[in-house]
Chain A
Amino acid sequence: MNGIRTKLRIDAIFKTIVFFFTIVSVVALAAILIFTLLKAIPLFQEVNLIDFITSDVWSPSTNQFGIASFIVASVLTTILACLIGIPIGLYTAIFISEIAPKKIASLVLFAVEILASIPSVIYGFFGLTVMVPLVQQLFNIRSGTTLFTASIILALMILPTVVSLSTSALKAVPKTIDEGSLALGATKMQTILKTKIPYAKSGILTSCLLGLGRALGETMAVMLVAGNANMMPQLFPISEAYLSSGRTLTGNIIMELAYASGIHEAALFATGVVLFIFVCIINIVILRVKKRGVAHS
């Protein structure tokens, strides 16, 4: 009898501990959110949100705060990074889970995981010393610090996320699906492309969206190679935009926070709030995709 009571007590204590630690993580999020919002409020007493998002004049010395050009730069780099990084990541995942012999597959996976653990400042430094001069010579432009360079570095950085999550999504496809497809006379490639990938769709999509989130939020590496020019990228032709210097939302915050005070500081926190909204949107989409995936299977 006594034994059962003790067990129940331990059970209750364990539940409390779990609950406590859960609260800690939720409170951490709430604290960050509240702190950022509070710090941003002074800005919105002088500039309204719509102007803040749609104006492309950012001039702290004359109290003009508009982040449109930074939003555009963030979106441009994120899109190109995904366009380059996702196909590479996806094909690597197919190679690892379907094609490669076990030994080689684990070797590739190991390499990709190493890629994930390299600090972003190293990516940035690599970008600045190797990619920047390369881009400059390749396109014969005045400076290699461009949104294009930033996109390439970002594509490398989102690879691990896309590869490892897509690999597990593909590996989770039941053997029976494989066998059924092969039994019907489909080739290996047809099986992978037409049955396995559609089956693992939601997992793969989630990996891409997480990669997208990483690209949007990356700061240090981007700041080092993007040039951080305070101007609206020229969108027509689009190559002009990518081959010029630009500043992302994250870059803007880290760039000026050190010396900012008063309303300038508030504007940087407000930039953070806008970034937070973007990240929330991506996460909501991820949740939707996951739910649909569950419903599907």
Chain B
Amino acid sequence: MSRRGRRKFGDGGWSEEGGYMAAKKRKLDEQFGEDVPRQIQRQGSSSKIFEGVTIYVNGYTVPSSDELKRLMMLHGGRHTFYYRKTTVTHIIATTLPHSKILDIKDKKVMKADWILDSIKAGKLLSCPPYMLYTKQSKSQPGIRFTKVDPPSANQATSSASIASEDSENRDDPANQKSEFLQMEIESSELTTQDPESGKLANHESDSSDLTNQEPESSDFTNMEIENYELRNLEISSPVKVSSQSVTSVCVNQDNSVMSFDENEVMTDTNMNDGDCRKKSKESPQSAQLMGKNIDQRLPAKAGDPNFVSEFYTNSRLHHIATWGAEFKDLVKKLQTEGDAVFSGREKLKKLYASSRSDDKVHDFGFHSDKKGGNKPERVIMHIDMDCFFVSVGLLSRPELKGTPVAVTHSKGKGTQLTNRPGADPEFEKAYYENRHKQKVVKGKSMSGDKIQMNTAAAPCLTDSSVVHSTSISELDSTKTFTSMAEIASCSYEARKAGIKNGMFMGQAKKLCPDLQAIPYDFEKYKEVSQILYKTVASYTHDIEAVSCDEMFVDISDIINGIKVTPLQVATAIREELYRETGCNASAGIAPNILLARMATRIAKPNGQFYLQADTAAEFIKTQLLKGLPGVGSSLNHRLETMGLTTCGELQDKPLRMLQQEFGPKTGQSLYNYCRGIDERPITADKERKSVSAEINYGIRFTQDSEAQDFLTELSTEVQKRLKNIKMRGKTITLKLKARKSSAPLESAKFMGHGVCDNIAKSSTLMTPTDDVKIITKECVMLLRQMKIHAADMRGMGIQINKLSSAASASSGMSVLDYMKNQPKPSTSKINGASDRSKVNDKNDEVFVTPVKQCGKKGIRDMFQNGATAKAETVGSVAMPTSDGDLFLPSPSQVDPSVLAALPSDIRQQIEKGYAARNQSIPTKKRHQNNLEVASSKWDISVLQALPADVVKDLLLSELGEKQQTYSGGNMLQTTKQIQNENMQMLKDVLEAGPSRVEKQPTHDVVPSFSQIDPSFLEALPPELRNELKNTYKGKNSKMATKLQDKIKCSPVKLSSPKKGKSKKTSPGRGAKGSSRSIKSSPQKQKIDWRNKQRNIQNMLIGSSSNMVDPDHPGNPDSPALVLDDVQRKSDENCLGEEEEKDKEEVMQGVEKVKPNLCGRVDLSDVKTLVKEWIESCPAPELEDVGQFVQYINDLVDDKNLETVDLLLKYLKRHVMKTGRSEWKDGYNLIVIQTQDLIKSIYGSQLKIESDLT
């Protein structure tokens, strides 16, 4: 009340100041400004840490709002008492109600500690760790401190240098071609610079930089950023970190010939405090693009035409993964060949022959179907090479044997690096720390990969192709060495020092200063792997390939076959492996896969261990849970919190509890595994569930078109993979990594993805595909739906799910199937044509091929052209789809005129296409006939007709349809029989006497009248309609006379209830109309059966005025009335069936209709009708009797003999009442026919009197 009152009085005089509150705020701001110098004076010190920060303190905080205000004054920030969206950058609070959170969702809400810690640290700390809540939506614009004010000390200089060289290929002659391009920019203030940063080619000088460099380690550049390859990189301009720091970039352009190995680009960036270094792996293309776009400061990586394919040809992990698949294929191939001779086995046999007395079994002809599982005792051997990469690497470096060695990209010496512009390592570090704390970390396991995450390390954000690892320990590691190259494999000597696979080089170096780094040698790995597999395959083909150096082998057959002990087999294989490859392998033997793998752990290094079934139980109890398959870091953590670390402890837990805790599946497998139970068989052929390609590295787009181009490339890659495994997929998922809005623009790792939101969206196609175009189109659509700014994209992946084999897909689901199911145009052909042209428009990109080129292009193009041509002219049917396959419409849908108009060579091609599909080439006649209903026979007349003009075309298409939908109706059964005969006769007539045909030339092309959709007729212009009507009149009158005799002499066959048959011949109602007309005068011929029915009804109702004598010549029924009736009929019976094109469906629909007599279903109604019928008619009409019999027929068909019985009895009573002999005869006729029918079906007759006299 008081507020309102005040307002009334002109804001109490504050109006000229913009209102009271505005004035107050202004005053407070001024006061704050005035207080600042005073505070600083009092405190004696100040800083500018919080410059640009305006805080608003909400509620209780420690320290208090006043204290915070004071601190802000001292350190250059601002503090307001009132929350203002425009000025406040941060809100300080300890708790916030939900409503407030919603209200201020676009502000950062910080804990007060942030301010204190920032002051303590002397700089503005990154926000995330201090945020009160972090689940802000990704739309949060946030305030990005991307400029990361360098600490004042940073005013000195930072220098960054990128050096690149090809470490592996240095001696390769091809490499000699590579040019070094070096750019060096030094600022005037440049103070510290690595001596060699400007002289990159001089590698040896690198080693002088840091401590222990072995001679051969100079093979590697002192590398902080590894790059695979740099091509075409000609520009590199200084990238300014800040106004006073300078980056110098030295780039090596390398030849792309040996793209297998990575080039390594070194980037040294050092900040003055030097506590932050990063190193990351790079893709060549990214650097290349960086060069391209370097003037845009944000080096866009992806988008180069060949980015994707080159990325994959160079990706280390991609190779490892592909090998795994390759070897699986190899094993599969070996198994399908089947009849191999196992040379190794023979050797083994010879070797141990002496020690055995009974050497009799020669089981060489064994096949892969003898897989374990049903065998009582399986013996599984797990063969694993000992530190594979290292031992292969040491083959060429024998002098390093016995020393700690690690395979990594890093050269093993670190330099310092400066922060790159826009990067905020603090942010990422804090982010990961935070996540780690929250235990939401889920390291994705990479099966078949040598890299296992160091458990102490931070989350491993990996994907199938690229590994980006960021380690906390790495980020805050010491000043000495901070390489972020992960160790792919390390020797046992190194392991003794505590180094683990997956550890970062910097960390490892700390643990073991003597650690030697050797490079990858993919060619060699592959070679050795192949030897490994060949060797094992010479013993048995029961191999499950796990990766390039690891496999499971079912040696039960060997053991049973040649009577050796498992350990002897292992020894033999291992010895042979060592002979062949020079590398050590370990083997674990156990009754199942799980135990074999565990046994290998005991066996390592270079040993073998046979875990026998009886000791397995004891053995497994001591095993750690995290060694079980499927127990990853998060699951292990959960188990640990339950106090479980070993399998023995887990064994005490009941299955139900485990399933409750971990879900039914995981619980079950945990329960089994911790008991050493593992029923998995050795499988060579694991079915693929999905195919995907994903790149999360080097994605820096500047505009949407780049993203789309990139998608195209990625799709191509996916397609390649799909084709490789001969699969097609139905579901397409687009995975996107978008920069978290609070994350800095540039990631800590050079060109890495940084902190991201993972977004995925999928769409399911109608049919499985492996077509690039379709995949791309879908993906682009999905991308658009996601509405992510191109610049924020950090990673992209396409995944194809729901795979089905390409072979079955093509045979089972041809495009033709869809053509068949497509609803035909319901109005007219012209509409259909326009529909189609619309389709064409939609698929514009597919149909751009100019007509002229069609001769050169494939059949598909021709058809596209054909389609467009058709759309222009007649508008007949050819339905191009965007499917990439050879596409031909169904032959019936090919417009012969178009076909004829095509150049002869093209036409031949089309015809061949059809021939290849076992489809007849549409000839003109056939085409006419098939235009809509291939199997219909009714239009023989059409066959003989001249090529149809447009109107006739229209008619044909329309009628063809209607024929199917309208021919239903139960009351038609009897008449149909007649019609069939009529049609047959008509056919005979037509075929026999062409001259007669010529007499009725106009009628030939017109289908039976009843087949015309009345709505269609109505839609026609009046004159056209009249013409049609006249045609029908003439036609029917001529027919009538001819048919009459035929009808009379053909007895109505009621006994055959074959609906389907009559349908198939599908005489339509036109013939019906004519059969009806037999008894009527020429004027009345168009009365169709329904109308007749009406007559009966009218008659039965007994109103003499309304009664219409069907035989009366002056029948007032006009054609319009007929149409009405037909319309009504269609409403009643055929509703909902119009769309059904499939004949069977139509038939089903018909069968669903309950048996009725003139639409009456209920027995009482029928009885009433029958009563009226009997009472009103002196004698039963033959056709009425026919209808009644038909009704009885239907009832019998409907398995309702009861009603039949009752009805006949009823009929009999009333017939007896009338006492007329005509009726008695009628009744007798009905009964005889009914009895015949029932006899034919049931073999017995109704117990009713069949003879009334």
Mutual binders A and B: no
